[in-house]
């Protein structure tokens, strides 16, 4: 193949898909990496993962990040389908707390990483293959919110809270069409907004926080204390579907708590829509009904009751898509 033909083939490929982001999502059980195109689609075959978790050393965690990234980087090169010029940057969504002042992370569930220079690790791994591209790190909750805004349930709205209700409760904020990272990068942590009437002790040191009331494990624990026999969110979901009265009350209690936290947040920042995902958000549609009913009680303030509360429209690729949005939608990322 002459050089001229090769150049023509390359620009046809570029026209097919002008650029990709390398997306990285680092959580308490695994790290994932993938290539995500400008439309928010994960490139087939590009998704790689490696284990994380509190039992691993700092160097083992770093090795997992390099391993997941390595799978992606193997796809990139002058002789492969994705040339380095087509990589627009690297977006990282990380479990928090984060420290955006110097791009470090201190994830609660990986305590050996205490102010760990994650962006530097990722840059050092990527730049030998793709020189000089930007590396942007944000809290995972913010990335999820960007994904909901880009390709999910919050599309078309300028004032969005994304929420994850799972083992913990996290989230992120987009206000006035721009992300709100906060000066340290930890804004959006709806799980530590308190709920009136609750005083459950929270690992944060406070009490009555949403996470301490309405996370999956806390909801199961409350149901257990009321006499329900079962151990998982899935079992609780089945019990709700079967009409178990304790399970129904457990979902009502957590759903109302979620709604009350949303009402507090909407009072404080004036939201259009809240998109809720995470494993425990699927326990029952009743969770959403109770949340909406709690919001509706704030009848004096139309700017609060107007907020829509909807399920996430993201698949399991959401965190990666959100990390990619840090690059592909950089114009709205503060």
What residue ranges bind a copy of itself (CB under 8 A)? 97, 108, 158-159, 173, 175-176, 180-199, 203-209, 260-261, 263-265, 267-272, 297-304, 334
Cβ–Cβ under 8 Å, residues 130 and 124: no
Residue 267 C-beta: closest distance to a copy of itself, Å: 4
CA dist., res. 84 & res. 77, Å (int):
6
Nearer to a copy of itself, 45 or 197 (CB): 197
DSSP letter (8 states) at residue 42 = B
Nearer to a copy of itself, 77 or 196 (CB): 196
Structure tokens at 79: 């002789």
> Closest by alpha carbon to 274, among 163, 127, 130, 118?
163
Residue 182 C-beta: closest distance to a copy of itself, Å: 2
Structure tokens at 199: 């005083």
Residue 304 C-beta: closest distance to a copy of itself, Å: 7
Nearer to a copy of itself, 234 or 289 (CB): 289
Residue 137 C-beta: closest distance to a copy of itself, Å: 15
Nearer to a copy of itself, 86 or 253 (CB): 253
Nearer to a copy of itself, 78 or 205 (CB): 205
Nearer to a copy of itself, 80 or 207 (CB): 207
Nearer to a copy of itself, 64 or 159 (CB): 159
**How many CB atoms sit inside 10 A of residue 132's CB?**
9
Instruction: Tell me the sheet residues that pair with 209.
Output: 194
Contact partners, residue 300, CB within 8 Å, separation at least 6: none
Residue 306 C-beta: closest distance to a copy of itself, Å: 8
Residue 64 C-beta: closest distance to a copy of itself, Å: 25
Give the H/E segment covering residue 262: helix 245-269
CA dist., res. 125 & res. 47, Å (int):
17
Residue 141 C-beta: closest distance to a copy of itself, Å: 11
CA 314 distance to own-chain centroid: 10
> Closest by alpha carbon to 25, among 161, 103, 118, 100?
118
Residue 44 C-beta: closest distance to a copy of itself, Å: 37
CA dist., res. 182 & res. 142, Å (int):
11
Half-sphere exposure of 32 (CA within 13 A, CB side): 22
Residue 122 C-beta: closest distance to a copy of itself, Å: 22
What angle do the packed helices 285-296 and 245-269 form, to 10 degrees? 50
Report helix, strand or coil for 31: strand
Contact partners, residue 278, CB within 8 Å, separation at least 6: 163, 164, 165, 166, 169, 312
Nearer to a copy of itself, 208 or 233 (CB): 208
Nearer to a copy of itself, 224 or 267 (CB): 267
Cβ–Cβ under 8 Å, residues 117 and 103: yes
Strand-by-strand arrangement of the 48-51 sheet? 48-51, 30-37, 20-26, 87-94, 135-139
């Amino acid at each position: 193949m002459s050089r001229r033909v090769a150049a023509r083939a390359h620009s046809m490929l570029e026209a097919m898909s002008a650029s990709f982001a390398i997306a990285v999502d680092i959580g308490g059980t695994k790290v994932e990496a993938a290539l995500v195109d400008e439309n928010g689609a994960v490139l087939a075959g590009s998704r790689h993962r490696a284990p994380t978790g509190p039992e691993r050393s700092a160097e083992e965690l770093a090795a997992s990040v390099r391993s997941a990234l390595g799978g992606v980087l193997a796809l990139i090169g002058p002789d492969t389908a994705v040339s380095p010029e087509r990589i627009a940057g690297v977006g990282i969504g990380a479990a928090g707390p984060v420290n955006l002042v110097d791009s470090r992370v201190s994830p609660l569930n990986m305590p050996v990483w205490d102010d760990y220079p994650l962006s530097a690790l990722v840059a050092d791994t990527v730049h030998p293959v793709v020189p000089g591209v930007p590396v942007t790190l944000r809290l995972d909750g913010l990335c999820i919110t960007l994904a909901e805004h880009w390709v999910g349930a919050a599309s078309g709205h300028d004032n969005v809270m994304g929420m994850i209700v799972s083992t913990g409760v996290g989230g992120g904020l987009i206000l006035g069409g721009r992300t709100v990272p906060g000066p340290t990068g930890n804004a959006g942590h709806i799980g530590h907004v308190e709920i009136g009437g609750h005083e459950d002790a929270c690992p944060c040191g406070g009490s009555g926080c949403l996470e301490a009331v309405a996370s999956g494990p806390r909801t199961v624990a409350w149901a257990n204390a009321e006499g329900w026999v079962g151990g998982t969110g899935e079992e609780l979901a089945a019990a709700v579907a079967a009409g178990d009265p304790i399970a129904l009350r457990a979902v009502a209690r957590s759903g109302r708590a979620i709604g009350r936290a949303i009402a507090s947040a909407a009072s404080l920042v004036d939201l259009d829509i809240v998109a809720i995902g995470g494993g425990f958000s699927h326990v029952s549609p009743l969770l959403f009904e109770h949340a909406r009913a709690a919001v509706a009680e704030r009848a004096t303030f139309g700017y609060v009751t107007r907020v829509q509360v909807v399920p996430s429209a993201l698949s399991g690729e959401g965190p990666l898509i959100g990390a990619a949005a840090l690059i592909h939608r950089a114009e709205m990322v503060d």
